[in-house]
Structure 1
Amino acid sequence: MQTMSLTVELPKIDVLFLEEYVKQHQLSMSGLISDLIEQFRASEQYVLHPEIHEILGIVPGDVDAKQEYYDYMEKKHQ
């Protein structure tokens, strides 16, 4: 595996926290970052079921679903 170097500027308190975290968990800073990147990759690869894609966007975002359901049930049971 080919590697590259990366320099990141963070607030001192964050760097101190990360140093203590990797020490307590017996990790390396590179290993921690690598694990986080793998988690990001895994979350990006999550694919919704095709039936979910079909119904996405059918209901406008400004609809109050709870209120609509309440109104429907109230009308149904009159």
Structure 2
Amino acid sequence: PTPNAIKREASSRRIDVQANVRGHDLAAVAVEVQSRLQKMAFPLGYYAVLQGEYAELRATRERLQLFALLALAGIF
């Protein structure tokens, strides 16, 4: 319900789009959004990036997998 604000970073403009996924799995919704974004044709110089909680979740999973591999290597 708030007006859109165009932000500027490193001479590029960006706009944030937020969504609430209450009652659904965040990762499943993010995968669906990503697959739909890949099918969209953006004009030259425009692109979409998933950020926020999903990006943090993905980074945490990757770190956890790395630590699990290091723990297994340490055990053996």
Instruction: Decide which structure has greater helix share.
Output: 1
TM-score, normalization by structure 1 = 0.30
Larger Rg over CA atoms: 1
Instruction: Decide which structure has greater strand share.
Output: 2
